[in-house]
Structure 1
Amino acid sequence: MYDITIIGAGPAGASAAIFAAKAGKKTLLIDNDKGMTRRAWLQNFYSIMEINGPDMVDLGEKQAVKFGAELVRDKAVDVQINEGAFEIQTENGKYETRYVILATGALVDLAETIGIRTKPGTEPRIKKVLDVDVNGKTNIDRIWAAGTCAGVSVHAIITAGDGAKVAINIISEINGERYVDHDVLKPTT
């Protein structure tokens, strides 16, 4: 069983997976490889002069895998509560997890299918978003949301930060204390 499963590997999902896996949580990242970041050209992402969307998504996935996340290329089609855990049904398999992070970009159909409340979106062309609290929690216990589907701006840098925030909040809940991931530069001799 996974500790945290993230559905969607764009900037929000990959950032969440990076933090979750780096914190030692058994992490699964499910992505169907069709996110809107794959069509982006980015010149406004902190510390990156410019990058195309496909390269950014690929790098985010590689970084998550580097820290121990498992990446599954598939489409999640349902999430059910099963004896205190969640069972995520994909087109090609089933996965059990304790926590779910939805990072599905502009798409909220899966969330609606499983009973997560929505509200009108505020970004251009984003009709509906998930109704989450300031921490990213949805109306279903242990299902959280991050990024555009959670109502934050579609800008990749903002969704990436939101994914990290939501992962840190879940890690803190699991650990029973506030989690901080801060690496320190090693001194040179």
Structure 2
Amino acid sequence: MYDIAIIGAGPAGASAALFTAKAGKKTLVLDSDQSVTKRAWIENHYGAPDISGPDLVAVGKKQAAKFGAEFVTAKVSKLNAKDGSVAIETEGGETYEATHVILATGMLTDMAEASGIATKPGTEPRIKTIVDVTPEGRTNQANVWAAGTVAGVSMHTIVTAGDGAKVAINVISELNGERYVDHDVLKS
């Protein structure tokens, strides 16, 4: 059983995983390796020099793994809400369970729709459908959240990464029962 499972390891998912793992939460990231970021060249990601999408994704995954996030390559086919947790089914037949799930599936909403998660029309160019979320990132399903492009934010990597962090902080705060803040300080 994981505290948090994140579906997708692009900028939103890896950023969420970085925050959840660093907060000491048992974190699983399930990724189908289909991130649109893997085809990108990025010159507008704050704090990073010009970088290829594959390199940005690799750096994000490495940062999250440093704090203990586990990565599994698998395509999630369906989520099933249980009493206080969510069962995660993959196309390969594996099943995982987590207290909370964060969807960070980019442009892909088929698994969300198959799981009964409410969607609505997208507003970004080329994004036809998004998951319907509250400002905190909650979906209509208990313990299921969404972040990044699938949640309707701008497709730019810096924006989706920030949204992944925001939703992760909200999930951590709910698990902890108080607002979570992660501020490191320079060592003298």
Assess same fold via TM > 0.5. Answer: yes
Distance in 1 between residues matched to 2:59 and 2:38, nearest whole Å: 12
Residues 1-189 of structure 1: matches in 2 within 5 Å? 1-92=1-92, 93-187=94-188
Please give the TM-score of this superposition, normalised by the length of structure 1.
0.97
Q: Secondary structure at the match of 1:6?
A: strand
Unaligned runs of 5+ in 2: none
Deviations 1:9-67 (A, max 9, x none): 00000000000000000000010111100000000000112100001111111111111
Deviations 1:79-129 (A, max 9, x none): 112343211111231111100000000011110111111111111000011
Superposition misfits of 4+ residues, deviation over 6 angstroms: none
Distance in 2 between residues matched to 1:135 and 1:84, nearest whole Å: 19
Q: Secondary structure at the match of 1:141?
A: coil
The amino acid of 2:12's aligned partner reads A
Unaligned runs of 5+ in 1: none
CA RMSD of aligned residues (A): 0.8
The amino acid of 1:15's aligned partner reads S
Q: Secondary structure at the match of 1:80?
A: strand
